[in-house]
């Protein structure tokens, strides 16, 4: 099944725009699991089991696993999500980007080893760094476009000779010449609603991954209002809004799973309100 079809099916079934980011930090784990990297799988699997109904997608960030020598636990977690929440797509947040021969290895890692449904990529090295990923036709590829961090402006807000800002150029490439196989999407931070709106204009049919609500202060309602697809009666691509820390660490106590679910439900409701407001 193609990534976009799986995403659309999950959106229908769970009626949700919320992606829960799986960024496990052992120092923030509850009770006896605190500071224990061997509990990364247990922590994340418990979060998945508690949140699998109100979510559209999961997004594990590879650095949190690799930093703790826990790639084997990420493999187990991916298998767990496929079993416990088979309809929920998994976006591997890897932000890869390298010359073609190395990109091939990264693609093997994401899609063969971890069997992710989609991945995040940096477009900085150009089309030939994206091309090897296009061989995996069913998979989604989210290109960083306008990132949520303040330093994103250092490069992404620079004006090119064409008159476009760099992030606008990336959005045009993703919607047009680079999207030979229909697999591309863009990443725009929730902290920049005006840029979400602009990217939606330039790349109207692409999936839009929006991280930055919750811990980074992005507003869920404004985010969806800016990116929602039925504005002006046009049909456009899906919106996937990620929150990680605000859900994972909603409580540091033993009731962390129930607290994570409550936080996920509340965020999902705010996103739904944004969708209604955008109409
Ligand atoms: O590609 C991403 O997911 C991403 C892009 C971006 O512009 N900003 C951003 O925060 N992210 C990721 O989204 C997650 C945000 O986490 P919270 O701030 O805890 O919700 C982290 O895993 C980041 O690595």
Per-residue pLDDT tens digits for 165-220: 999 999 999 999 999 999 999 999 999 999 999 999 999 999 999 999 999 999 99
β-partners of residue 20 are 58, 243
- Cβ of 2 closer than 6 Å to ligand 1, yes or no, is no
Overall average pLDDT of the 229-249 stretch = 84
Q: What is the mean pLDDT of the chain?
A: 96
3-state secondary structure of 78: helix
Overall average pLDDT of the 228-240 stretch = 74
pTM over 0.90, yes/no: yes
Give yes or no for residue 230 having a pLDDT over 80.
no
CA 143 – ligand 1 centroid, Å: 13
Please give the backbone phi and psi of residue 2, each rounded to the nearest 5 degrees, phi first: -70, 150
Ligand 1, from 148, 191, 216: best to mutate by most atoms within 8 Å of Cβ? 148
**CA-wise closest residue to 147 among 183, 192, 91, 202:** 192
Confidence band of 157 (pLDDT split at 50, 70, 90): very high
Indicate the class that CATH gives domain 3-278.
alpha beta
d(CA 171, CA 167): 6
Contact 44, 82 (CB under 8 A): no
Q: What local confidence, expressed as pLDDT, does residue 236 receive?
A: 78
Contact 48, 40 (CB under 8 A): no
Confidence band of 240 (pLDDT split at 50, 70, 90): very high
Overall average pLDDT of the 19-27 stretch = 98
Ligand 1, from 19, 20, 21, 250: best to mutate by most atoms within 8 Å of Cβ? 21
95-123 pLDDT, tens per residue? 999 999 999 999 999 999 999 999 999 99
- Cβ of 216 closer than 6 Å to ligand 1, yes or no, is yes
Question: Is 52 designated active site?
Answer: no
- With pLDDT > 90 as the criterion, what percentage of the chain qualifies? 93
Give yes or no for residue 37 having a pLDDT over 90.
yes
Contact 262, 275 (CB under 8 A): no
Give yes or no for residue 234 having a pLDDT over 70.
no
β-partners of residue 103 are none
Q: What local confidence, expressed as pLDDT, does residue 277 receive?
A: 85
Is this prediction's ipTM beyond 0.95? Answer: yes
Contact 275, 17 (CB under 8 A): yes
d(CA 273, CA 212): 18
Contact 223, 192 (CB under 8 A): no
- Cβ of 186 closer than 6 Å to ligand 1, yes or no, is no
CA-nearest residue for atom 11, ligand 1, is 211
Give yes or no for residue 279 having a pLDDT over 60.
yes
d(CA 10, CA 190): 22
Q: What local confidence, expressed as pLDDT, does residue 232 receive?
A: 59
Confidence band of 235 (pLDDT split at 50, 70, 90): low
């Amino acid at each position: 099944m193609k990534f976009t079809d799986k995403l659309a099916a999950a959106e229908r079934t769970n009626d949700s725009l919320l992606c829960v980011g799986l960024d496990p930090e052992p120092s923030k784990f509850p009770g006896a699991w605190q500071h224990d990297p061997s509990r990364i799988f247990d922590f994340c699997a418990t979060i998945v089991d508690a949140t699998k109904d109100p979510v559209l997608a999961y997004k594990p960030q590879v650095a949190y696993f690799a930093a703790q020598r826990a790639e084997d636990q990420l493999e187990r977690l991916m298998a767990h999500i496929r079993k416990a929440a088979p309809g929920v797509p998994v976006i591997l947040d890897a932000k890869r980007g390298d010359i073609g021969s190395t990109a091939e290895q990264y693609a093997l890692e994401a899609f063969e080893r971890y069997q992710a449904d989609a991945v995040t990529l940096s477009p900085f090295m150009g089309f030939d760094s994206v091309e090897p990923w296009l061989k995996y036709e069913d998979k989604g590829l989210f290109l960083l476009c306008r990132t949520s961090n303040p330093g994103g402006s250092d490069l992404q807000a620079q004006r090119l000779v064409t008159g476009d800002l760099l992030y606008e150029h990336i959005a045009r490439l993703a919607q047009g010449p680079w999207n030979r196989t229909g697999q591309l999407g863009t990443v725009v931070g929730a902290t920049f609603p005006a840029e979400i709106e602009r990217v939606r204009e330039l790349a109207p049919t692409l999936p839009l991954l929006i991280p930055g609500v919750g811990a980074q202060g992005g507003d869920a309602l404004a985010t969806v209002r800016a990116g929602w697809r039925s504005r002006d009666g046009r049909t456009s691509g899906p919106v996937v809004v990620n929150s990680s820390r605000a859900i994972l660490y909603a409580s540091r106590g033993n009731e962390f799973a129930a607290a994570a679910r409550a936080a996920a439900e509340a965020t999902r409701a705010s996103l739904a309100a944004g969708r209604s407001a955008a109409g």
